[in-house]
């Protein structure tokens, strides 16, 4: 006589297959939510900490990270991980509470001892619990649809794509070729010291002086602007607007020396991959090189980062003095690395040595200096900064203010001073929200100051609407160059009475057009 088999002991468990399917569904939902949480955290963090265009973001994430300060990667990664971790922990808690059958059984057993429900009541509670679990899993799957959509809308991707796929005639209508301009150099060619101060905007000044702060974090730069020539969009301390495609460091260096936005198509943004950088462009360095200038680009980081070294070598045969050169020259130890390379107080010590060397060479020189300590996020508090203010970024700005003023004072005492034009300007507004939270981007302007200029502004210095591209002809004009028509590239000589492009057509219009695709730009400048 055959004994019936016990399906629970010897045969397949009829509930095993559904249970495995449920486990796979739970795991899949958790993976979807994990990915969604990372995307959401990245976009939320970027929105809270950066005020930069999508073009700037694409350029930043596409370039090699060689030369990037470790904190520029590590700190954001930590903050994004913490933010994403919070979302993930909350979701996993909901999954456990609503989808773990063992927990439901224990809760039901406990409730039976303390609550008196009918069979129908327990059946209804079971359906509710099952529905809640299904909703949590569905939310996990849907999150992977919602988070990319959130990213697209937050970063204005549809608008960016629409602009990138629409043509502009900006360059056909407004570009003035330096190659065709009949530029006249001064007989006595002055030296040029050009300082690009990382993230130096005028909002760091007090409200009384033209900024937005309760007190002035840049009093010495404010004084330099008042005592020399500084072009402002107001009747107090103001400056240059940062347009689209000029609002990150490489783009600002390019705009300030070529009169063009960094409007290369995304696939051609990788300039560092090539042996030439916009070879058809005639930049400031090209013009000065033809006049016999010795030129040097000095920075406290890896000069190759973002294509900077390639650009300056291609346009003026600049020598590059960066982190690696400083190590080689013995200015810092061979293994020295702080922030992005070395601090600005070391940079200015090297600048003194290099300015002296260039002057002693006997030819006119152009020394271009790029600082780094005020870089996002928050800036770097060096040993020279002090703690005068509660906000660390305010202390960094105050430190830069002191160091720049001290370097200018040193220059005044040098034998080359009387024949040297000094141009001080920021590169772009801050990319984070430190000291600038709640301030409209269009109300934030870049600091500028011209010392020992060979000309006097014909229309004064107040209420001028200008951009970084205007710095190109204005620098040449400050050095005594004669510019027929007062325009080069898309820039206008601010020493002249000629209206700038921003004054004639509006800064909003210029922003829009600078973001649009231009076949003319590709054909004439990118090749």
Of the listed ranges 9-13, 167-171, 370-374, 518-522, the least confidently predicted one is 9-13
Contact between 379 and 307 (Cβ < 8 Å): no
Q: How confident is residue 372, by pLDDT bands cut at 50, 70 and 90?
A: very high
- Would you give the distance in Å from CA 480 to the centre of its chain? 33
Say yes or no to pLDDT of 107 above 70.
no
d(CA 285, CA 293): 9
Residues 212-227, mean pLDDT to the nearest whole number: 97
Task: Work out the pLDDT band at 290, boundaries 50, 70, 90.
Answer: very high
Give pTM, 2 decimals.
Answer: 0.81
Nearest of 302, 201, 204, 289 to residue 250 by alpha carbon: 302
Lowest mean pLDDT among 196-210, 271-285, 390-404: 271-285
Contact, 394 vs 217, CB < 8 A? Answer: yes
- Read off the pLDDT band of 30 (50, 70, 90): confident
The size of the chain, in residues, is 527
Average pLDDT of the residues in 98-110: 58
Q: Which among 500, 384, 452 is positioned nearest to 194, based on CA atoms?
A: 452
Q: What is the pLDDT of residue 65?
A: 47
Q: What is the mean pLDDT of residues 338-351?
A: 95
Mean pLDDT over all residues of the chain? 86
Paired with 157 in beta bridges are none
Name which of 66-80, 323-337, 510-524 the model is least confident about: 66-80
DSSP-assigned states of every residue in 17-42? HHHHHHHHHHHHHHHHHHHHHHHHHH
Q: How many CA atoms lie within 13 A of 310 on its CB side?
A: 15
pLDDT of 399 above 90: yes
β pairing state of 487-488 and 491-492: antiparallel
pLDDT score for 216: 97
In tens, the pLDDT along 141-184 reads 888 888 888 888 877 777 667 766 778 999 999 999 999 999 99
Between CA 329 and CA 504 the distance in angstroms is 49
CA–CA separation, 422 vs 250, rounded Å? 21
Domain 170-182+193-259+278-520 is found in CATH 3.40.720.10:
yes
Is residue 83 within 8 A of residue 45, CB to CB? The reply is: yes
pLDDT at site 320: 98
Q: How confident is the model at residue 437 (pLDDT cuts 50, 70, 90)?
A: confident
Of 94, 85, 92, the residue nearest 42 (C-alpha): 85
Identify the pLDDT of residue 62: 53
Residue 163 or 361, more confident: 361
Give residue limits of the domains in the chain. 16-164, 170-182+193-259+278-520
Q: Say whether pLDDT at 110 is over 80.
A: no
What residue spans of 299-340 are helical by DSSP H? 308-314, 323-329
pLDDT for 354 beyond 70: yes
DSSP state of 437: T
Q: How confident is the model at residue 306 (pLDDT cuts 50, 70, 90)?
A: confident
- Higher-scoring residue by pLDDT: 242, 103: 242
Q: Residue 269: which pLDDT band, with cuts at 50, 70 and 90?
A: very low
Residue 339 has pLDDT above 70, yes or no: yes
* Three-state DSSP state, 230: coil
- Which whole number is the average pLDDT over 1-14? 52
Residue 15: pLDDT band with limits 50, 70, 90: low
Residue 378 has pLDDT above 70, yes or no: yes
Whether residue 446 is predicted with pLDDT greater than 70 in this model: the reply is yes
Please tell me which of 156-170, 261-275, 291-305 the model is most confident about, judged by mean pLDDT.
291-305
Confidence at residue 150, expressed as pLDDT on a 0 to 100 scale? 83
The predicted-structure confidence for 112-143, as pLDDT tens digits, reads as follows 555 655 555 556 666 676 777 778 888 888 88
Environment class of 152 (CB within 10 Å of its CB; exposed 0-12, middle 13-18, buried 19+): middle
| Residue 91 pLDDT | 81
pLDDT at position 3? 47
Name the more confident of 271 and 169: 169
Residue 142: other Cβ atoms inside 10 A:
14
Distance between CA atoms of residues 318 and 316, nearest Å: 5
Residue 431 pLDDT > 90, yes or no? no
- 496-514 pLDDT tens trace: 999 999 999 999 999 889 9
């Amino acid at each position: 006589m055959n004994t019936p088999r016990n399906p629970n002991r010897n045969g397949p468990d009829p509930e095993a297959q559904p249970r495995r399917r449920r486990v796979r569904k739970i795991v899949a939902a958790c993976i979807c939510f994990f990915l969604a949480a990372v995307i959401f955290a990245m976009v939320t963090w970027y929105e809270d900490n950066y005020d930069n265009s999508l073009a700037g973001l694409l350029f930043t994430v596409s370039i090699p990270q060689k030369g990037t300060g470790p904190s520029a990667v590590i700190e954001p990664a930590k903050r994004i991980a913490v933010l994403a971790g919070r979302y993930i922990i909350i979701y996993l808690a909901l999954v456990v509470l609503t989808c773990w059958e063992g927990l439901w059984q224990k809760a039901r057993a406990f409730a039976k001892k303390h609550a008196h429900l009918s069979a129908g009541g327990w059946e209804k509670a079971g359906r509710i619990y099952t529905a809640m679990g299904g909703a949590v899993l569905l939310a996990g799957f849907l999150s992977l649809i919602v988070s990319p959509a959130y990213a697209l809308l937050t970063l204005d991707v549809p608008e960016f794509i629409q602009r990138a796929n629409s043509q502009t005639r900006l360059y056909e209508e407004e570009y003035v070729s330096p190659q065709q301009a009949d530029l006249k150099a001064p007989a006595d060619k002055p030296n040029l010291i050009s300082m690009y101060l990382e993230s130096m905007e005028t909002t760091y000044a007090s409200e009384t002086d033209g900024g937005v702060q309760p007190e002035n974090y840049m009093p010495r730069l404010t004084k330099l602007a008042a005592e020399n020539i500084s072009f402002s969009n107001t009747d107090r301390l103001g400056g240059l607007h940062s347009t689209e495609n000029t609002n990150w460091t490489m783009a600002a260096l390019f705009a300030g020396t070529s009169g063009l936005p960094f409007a290369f198509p995304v696939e051609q943004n990788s300039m560092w991959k090539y042996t030439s950088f916009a070879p058809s462009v005639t930049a400031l360095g090209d013009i000065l090189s033809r006049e016999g200038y010795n030129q040097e680009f000095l920075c406290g980081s890896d000069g190759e980062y973002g294509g900077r070294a390639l650009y300056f070598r291609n346009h003026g045969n600049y020598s590059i003095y960066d982190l690696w050169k400083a190590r080689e020259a013995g200015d810092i130890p061979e293994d020295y690395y702080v922030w992005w390379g070395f601090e600005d107080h070391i940079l200015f010590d090297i600048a003194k040595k290099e300015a002296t060397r260039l002057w002693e060479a006997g030819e006119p020189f152009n020394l271009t200096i790029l600082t780094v300590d005020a870089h996002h996020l928050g800036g770097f508090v060096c040993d020279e900064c002090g703690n005068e203010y509660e906000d660390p970024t305010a202390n960094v700005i105050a430190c830069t203010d002191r160091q720049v003023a001290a370097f200018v004072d040193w220059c005044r005492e040098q034998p080359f001073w009387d024949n040297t034009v000094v141009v001080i300007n920021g590169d772009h507004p801050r990319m984070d929200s430190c000291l600038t939270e709640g301030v409209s981007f269009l109300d934030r302007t870049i600091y500028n100051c011209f010392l020992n200029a060979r000309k006097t502004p014909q229309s004064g210095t107040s209420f001028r609407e200008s951009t970084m591209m205007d710095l190109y002809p204005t620098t040449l004009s400050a050095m005594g160059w004669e510019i027929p028509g007062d325009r080069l590239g898309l820039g206008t000589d601010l020493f002249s009475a000629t209206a700038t492009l921003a004054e004639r057509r509006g800064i909003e219009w210029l922003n829009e057009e600078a973001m649009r695709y231009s076949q003319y730009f590709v054909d004439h400048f990118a090749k």
